[in-house]
């Protein structure tokens, strides 16, 4: 198998698993218990908090552990609406469903939502954010990097513009963490969401960075874990894994931006050379080093994915319906791609686990695979 769907999820790194295992076996104490056995688990969480904070350039007390990236995004936006009492939010038309569907839901409940458009490259004009701010705006929520195209938004610039106008700013940085050398405290970002399973930690754990002195209204109330910001007994093993994964991400960010980027560029160049007419979505924008979204006009993406699967290659289309049918990606549509072309697009996303031999083999196989769809 050649796994090129790392924006969907990543393999747990063996080093991460090794760090986690003791907390799934002998160290099962509750971190809230006062005896030594419990305090050992609490200490492991403290270490993980330091590790996540170090990667982000945040303070440990600014980190809240959650169950996933989706929870982190939802908690940030819900908190801003609750603490400000305002009923308007600003986001973009290319967000992940974790933000998009929550904003949709608030809109149905009568909240105002401004959906900022993107241009043909998938980038966003910071001036459009400023124009959308109203006196009743609770929060601006924009992703750092797009999961489908890899396009990177100028988040620090936008955060500064929002701060100048006194508006809270949240960024879904799930795809950016570990790939973009970002620093939470470099800009007035109030909330930043990340997810474990996108950076070689397990599924079912995430984190939300909340800037110090930002008012916070929790979604989960209970035993006051995470300083009352996120109740529920901690997923100790997964939190330990996330911490270790953040440490590894810090060590590997150079590899991501050199070797992995070169592999992605080689894959793009190799496919473009063999399949005339192929288009790279977001090609002229700043992009993540690991992601490529390609359109093959006239090709049915779902049968292309099936052929790739048959050849042992994992890739993905924009978004899949529950039926398994492919709907045209809202991200590509927002970039002005016609439905027919959106349905002819697939995404490859690489990671440090990929090798040059794998990329060479996909490039080699690709014309035959594509032929199989016609």
> For ligand PLP, which residue of 98, 139, 168, 313 counts as binding (CB under 6 A)?
98
Binding of ligand PLP at residue 174 (CB under 6 A)? Answer: yes
Q: Is 179 in the site for ligand PLP (CB under 6 A)?
A: no
Q: Which of 6, 23, 44, 69 binds ligand PLP (CB under 6 A)?
A: 69
At 269, which helix (H) or strand (E)? helix 261-274
CA distance 288 to 147: 9
Show the tokens assigned to 189: 């970002």
Least separation, in Å, of the C-beta of 184 and ligand PLP? 17
String of b and e for 10-33 (b: at least 16 CB within 10 Å)? bebbeebbebbeebeeebebbbee
d(CA 22, CA 28): 8
Alpha helices (H) along 95-154: 97-108, 126-132
321 is catalytic: yes
Find the residue with minimal CB distance to ligand PLP.
Answer: 69
Minimum distance from residue 175 beta carbon to ligand PLP (Å):
5
With CA atoms as reference, report the closest residue to 373 among 293, 301, 294. Answer: 301
Catalytically annotated residue among 68, 246, 314, 321: 321
- In whole angstroms, the minimum distance from the beta carbon of 74 to ligand PLP comes to 9
Residue 76 binds ligand PLP, judged by CB under 6 A: no
Asked whether position 172 contacts ligand PLP by CB under 6 A, the answer is yes
Give the integer Cα–Cα distance in Å for 218 and 94. Answer: 26
Count of residues touching ligand PLP (by CB under 6 A) = 16
Convert residues 186-225 into a mask of x (bound to ligand PLP by CB under 6 A) and - (unbound): ---------x-xx-------x-------------------
Q: Does 288 bind ligand PLP (CB under 6 A)?
A: no
Q: Could you give the CA distance from residue 59 to residue 209 in angstroms, rounded to a whole number? A: 9
Alpha carbon distances (Å) from 339 to 104, 120, 297, 319: 22, 14, 11, 13
178 makes contact with ligand PLP (CB under 6 A):
no
Residue number with CB closer to ligand PLP (69 or 282):
69
Q: Which residue number, 73 or 247, has a Cβ lying nearer to ligand PLP?
A: 73
How many whole angstroms separate alpha carbon 33 and alpha carbon 313? Answer: 47
Please name the residues in contact with 149: beta carbons below 8 A apart, sequence gap of 6 or more: 94, 122, 281, 282, 285, 287, 291, 293, 331, 332, 335, 347
Q: What is the closest distance, in whole angstroms, from the C-beta atom of residue 145 to ligand PLP in the complex? A: 7
Secondary structure class of 92 (helix, strand, coil): strand
Residue closest to 213 by CA, chosen among 87, 62, 44? 62
Stretch that binds ligand PLP, among 161-169, 171-179, 256-264, 353-361 (CB under 6 A): 171-179
Stretch that binds ligand PLP, among 65-73, 156-164, 259-267, 303-311 (CB under 6 A): 65-73
Specify the stretch interacting with ligand PLP by CB under 6 A; choose among 121-129, 170-178, 237-245, 319-327.
Answer: 170-178
Question: Judged by CB under 6 A, which of 2, 52, 58, 68 binds ligand PLP?
Answer: 68
C-alpha separations of 327 from 93, 104, 206, 243, 321 in Å? 16, 18, 28, 36, 6
Taking the complex as a whole, the smallest distance from the CB of residue 269 to ligand PLP amounts, in Å, to: 25
Of residues 10, 141, 175, 292, which one binds ligand PLP by CB under 6 A?
175
Least distance between ligand PLP and beta carbon 29 (Å): 26
Chain-centroid distance of CA 19 in Å reads 23
By CB under 6 A, is residue 167 in contact with ligand PLP? Answer: no
Kindly state whether residue 5 participates in binding ligand PLP, applying the rule CB under 6 A: no
Span 116-155, contacts to ligand PLP by CB under 6 A = 143, 147
Does residue 10 touch ligand PLP according to CB under 6 A? no
| 142 and 153 Cβ atoms separated by less than 8 Å | yes
236-255 vs 36-56: helix axis angle to the nearest 10? 30
Q: Residue numbers of the site for ligand PLP (CB under 6 A)? A: 7, 68-70, 73, 96, 98, 143, 147, 172, 174-175, 195, 197-198, 206
Residues marked as catalytic: 321
């Amino acid at each position: 198998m050649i796994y090129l769907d790392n924006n969907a999820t990543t393999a747990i790194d063996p080093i991460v698993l090794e760090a986690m295992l003791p907390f799934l076996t002998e160290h099962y104490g509750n971190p809230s218990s006062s005896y030594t056995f419990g305090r050992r688990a609490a200490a492991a969480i403290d270490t993980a908090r330091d590790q996540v904070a170090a990667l982000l350039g945040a303070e440990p007390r600014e980190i809240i552990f959650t169950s996933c990236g989706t929870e982190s995004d939802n908690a940030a936006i819900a908190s801003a609406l609750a603490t400000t009492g305002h009923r308007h939010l600003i986001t973009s038309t290319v967000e992940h469903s974790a933000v998009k569907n929550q904003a949709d839901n608030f809109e149905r409940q009568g909240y105002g939502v401004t959906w900022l458009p993107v241009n043909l490259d998938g980038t966003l004009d910071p001036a459009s954010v400023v124009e959308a701010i109203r006196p009743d705006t609770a929060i601006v929520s924009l992703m750092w990097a797009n999961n489908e195209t890899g396009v990177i938004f100028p988040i620090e610039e936008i955060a500064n513009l929002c701060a100048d106008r006194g508006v809270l700013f949240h960024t879904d940085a799930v795809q950016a963490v570990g790939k973009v050398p970002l620093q939470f405290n470099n800009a007035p970002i109030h909330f930043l969401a990340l997810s474990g399973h996108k950076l070689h930690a397990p599924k079912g754990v995430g984190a939300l960075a909340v800037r110090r002195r930002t008012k916070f209204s929790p979604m989960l109330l209970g035993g006051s874990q995470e300083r009352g910001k996120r109740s529920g007994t901690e997923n100790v093993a997964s939190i330990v894994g996330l911490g270790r994964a953040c440490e590894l991400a810090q060590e590997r960010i150079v590899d991501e931006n050199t070797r992995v980027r070169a592999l992605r560029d080689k894959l793009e160049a190799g496919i473009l050379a063999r399949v005339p007419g192929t288009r790279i979505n977001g090609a002229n924008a700043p992009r993540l080093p690991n992601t490529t979204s390609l359109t093959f006009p006239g090709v049915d993406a779902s049968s292309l994915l099936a052929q790739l699967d048959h050849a042992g290659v994992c890739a993905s289309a924009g978004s899949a319906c529950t039926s398994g049918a492919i709907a045209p990606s809202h991200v590509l549509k927002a970039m002005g791609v016609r439905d027919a072309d959106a349905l002819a697009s697939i995404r490859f996303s690489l990671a440090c686990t990929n090798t040059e031999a794998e990329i060479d083999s996909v490039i080699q196989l690709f014309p035959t695979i594509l032929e199989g769809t016609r």
